[in-house]
Amino acid sequence: MTSILADIYLWVKALHVMAVISWMAGLFYLPRLFVYHAEQVKTGDAADGLFQTMEMKLLRVIMNPAMVVTWVAGLMLVLTPGIVDWSMVWPWTKAVSVLGMTWFHMWLAGRRKAFEVGQNSLTGRNYRMMNEVPTILMVVIVLSVIVKF
C-alpha cells in the first residue's frame, strides 16, 4: 500500500491542493452570504428563500465534497512514507489548524440551519468577524507546510 501511495504522490498532492482551494473558496464565501442575509433580508420574504437556496447549495454541492476530498487526499499524503516527520512542529500545527477549519465548516453548517428555521441570532458584524477565522487558519497551514517550522 505504501509503495502505491509513493507512486501516486504527485497526483494525490495535486488533488489535495485543488480540493483545498475549493473548500477555502466556500469557507470565505458562505460567511459573506450570511452577512448580507442577516443585514438585508427579512425572514420569510422572497430574498430569504433565495439566500437559503444559495447557502444550502454552496455547502452541500461544493463545500462538503471539497472538505471530504481534502481530508481523504490529506490523509493519503500523511500515510505516504517519508513525507511527514512527526518529530517536527509543523505537522502538528497544520493538524490542529485543519481541525479548526473543520470545526469552522461545521459551525457554518449550523448557522445555515439557524437561517433555515428563522432563528439566526447573529449580526452581519458577527459574521464579518468570523470570516477572519479561515484566513488565520490558512496562514498557519501554509506557513507550517511551506516553511516547516
What is the SS3 assignment for 18-70? HHHHHHHHHHHHHHHHHHHHHHHCCCCCHHHHHHHHHHHHHHHHHHHHHHHHH
Instruction: Give the three-class secondary structure for 122.
Output: coil
Model pLDDT, residue 149: 81
Set of cell numbers at residue 63:
463545500
**Residue 51, burial from CB neighbour count under 10 angstroms (0-12, 13-18, 19+):** buried
Nearest to 129 by CA among 31, 21, 30, 29: 31
Give the C-alpha separation, 136 to 139, whole Å. 5
pLDDT tens for the chain, residues 1 to 149:
668 999 999 999 999 999 999 999 999 999 999 999 999 999 989 999 999 999 999 999 999 999 999 999 999 999 999 999 999 999 999 999 999 999 999 999 999 999 999 999 999 999 999 999 999 999 999 999 999 98
Which pTM was predicted? 0.94
Cα angle value 9/14/17 (rounded, 5°): 125
70 touches 23 (CB < 8 A): yes
